[in-house]
A and B are shown apart, each in its own frame.
Chain A
Amino acid sequence: MPSEKQQEHKDNLTQDAEEIQPDPEVTEQGEEIKEDLDQLLDEIDEILEEDSEEFVENYIQRGGQ
């Protein structure tokens, strides 16, 4: 059961969503950022594709200064 406070918060959110119309420019920007981020995450997937466990385990240096 959501607490009273959470419920109230939720109501506010729904109300806001009904009243505020999306600004197309902002939406576009937001989508661009999301696309960039998705692309970045995909690139990270690629980098991590190699066996991370083995790589990390083998990354042993001798102590330096």
Chain B
Amino acid sequence: MNRRIYGLENEYGIICTSDRRGGKALSIQNAVMYLFREIISGRMYPDVFLENGARFYQDIGCHPEYATPECDSVTDVVIHDKAGERIIERLSVAAERKMRLDGFLGRISVFKNNTDTPGNTYGCHENYLMERHVSFRQLASQLIPFFVTRQVFAGAGKVKPTNRGKYVISQRAQHIREEISIATTTARGIINTRDEPHADREKYRRLHVIVGDSNMSELATFLKVGTTSIVLRMIEDNFIKKRLALRDSVRAIQQISEDTTCTQQIELESGKRLSAVELQREYLECAKLYFEQEESDADENKIMAAWEYILTCLETDPMQLDRILDWVAKKKLIETYVTQRRLKWDSAKVMMLDLQYHNIRPDRGLYYKLEKKDLVQKMVADKEIENAMHYPPETTRAKFRGRFVKLANERKVLCGVNWSYIQLYEPYQKLYLSTNPFQVDFDEASRMIYSI
């Protein structure tokens, strides 16, 4: 597919603490209720579509989850993923204000990461619309080695509380138990088989990826989604001929995560041994050949250049990438702090540092402290992010949904909204179904909206 629909879903971690030492904290459930109070009223279940076409809801395990609107470019996904952070940040500020009015002096911290202290996990799911004709077996076998090794640039890093504070590349790798699985809450797989395209099922399938970490770095998100998209294009066109299958993929994903030098070799089914970076290079070289005969767009050119640059740096010294990759930026920050303040890696302060890197509030989050000091590289402008908080992408179905939600909110019309339909209740009693996420407008539905 030349043009593809992408979406990112992030489940956030949340905690509410009292301002008084030893004071009673609010439960997660109550904190989430305060978070949603600004946008829903009364006893409605916290699950809404926003005027920018995104969905914001309370997911399994009481996590606030933000799903970006359908985007048709990788850059747009990066922008809309950040817009989601900013929306939740503003909601958390409003929530704290409301809590104070209710007499609770406390603070809400929201983290864009994937693990808590005892080791529960929550995800960052990527979604890619794909052509239905691709055989699933082929898709899985060509994607697994890619997903196993992609963490060397997409990982968010984590200090493991056990093992004297050992630092690993990926938050999520340790929670992966299967190669292929339908489960998202128990035996999570490298390939997840959930397939709800919210589109014409005969034409499209949805690839729902649950193996990745949440990223703070814009460039890490760009690379994660971008390289995956290029690999998918090659799979759809049956271009990958090399057999890169691994002997034990689940073990490999953990081995790679535990080696911050990125030199650990893993065994292929063929008996050959390659490092994660070398395996990524196999995909990159294949993509270079692919684009010798296929046209690439501006995003793809940027992805290819960044992919090559990152792999080259990883081959010499991963720590060079502290301005770009989350796991490296955080590692460097912790190393510096530990050295300067003479701390042990397994101290509570180090765990706190790890956590606070992912705090989405610019005044408290360490990623944002780095950003403010220009110690990490941005790729999108703040005003683009600000814009995406209110406006949907112009080139997908989300445009129509966003406009509808805005009007319905203004005019207080009762309606049901979902990814693939919009329903007006009494007295209009109409349902507009959309099986094409690339279609921006529905004539009939538009006329209807403006007649309300």
Contacts and interface: CB of A to CB of B under 8 A. Distances in A.
A62 B356 contact: no
Contact of A52 (B60, B118, B351, B366): B351
A6 to B, nearest CB: 22
A60 to B, nearest CB: 5
B349 interface: yes
A61 B370 CA distance: 26
Given A56-B117, A59-B15, A59-B116, A64 B366 contact: no
A56 to B, nearest CB: 4
19 contacts: A37-B336, A40-B369, A40-B370, A47-B364, A47-B366, A50-B17, A56-B352, A56-B355, A58-B25, A59-B13, A59-B355, A61-B62, A61-B63, A61-B120, A61-B122, A62-B120, A65-B60, A65-B184, A65-B210
Size range of the interface on B? Answer: 35 or more
Nearest to A51: B21
B284 to A, nearest CB: 30
A49 to B, nearest CB: 10
A50 to B, nearest CB: 8
A25 to B, nearest CB: 19
Interface of A: 36-37, 39-41, 43-45, 47-48, 50-53, 55-65
Contacts of A47: 352, 356, 364, 366
Contacts of A41: 336-337, 340-341
Nearest to B365: A47
Contacts of A51: 21
Nearest to B351: A56
A47 to B, nearest CB: 6
Q: For the complex, would chain B's binding face be called helix, strand, loop or mixed by DSSP majority?
A: mixed
A56 B373 CA distance: 26
Contact of A63 (B117, B120, B370): B120
B121 A64 contact: yes
B187 interface: no
Contact of B348 (A36, A37, A43, A52): A52
B118 A44 contact: no
Most B CB contacts (10 A, CB to CB) among A52, A61, A63 go to A61
A63 B118 CA distance: 10
Contact of B61 (A40, A44, A64): A64
Given A61-B61, A63-B121, A64-B185, A56 B348 contact: yes
B353 interface: yes
A51 B355 CA distance: 14
A53 B348 contact: yes
Nearest to A61: B116
A45 B17 CA distance: 19
Given A37-B336, A40-B373, A60 B356 contact: no
Interface in B12-46: 13-15, 17, 21, 25, 28
B308 interface: no
Contacts of B356: 47-48
A50 B25 CA distance: 14
A43 B116 CA distance: 24
Interface in B35-82: 59-63, 65
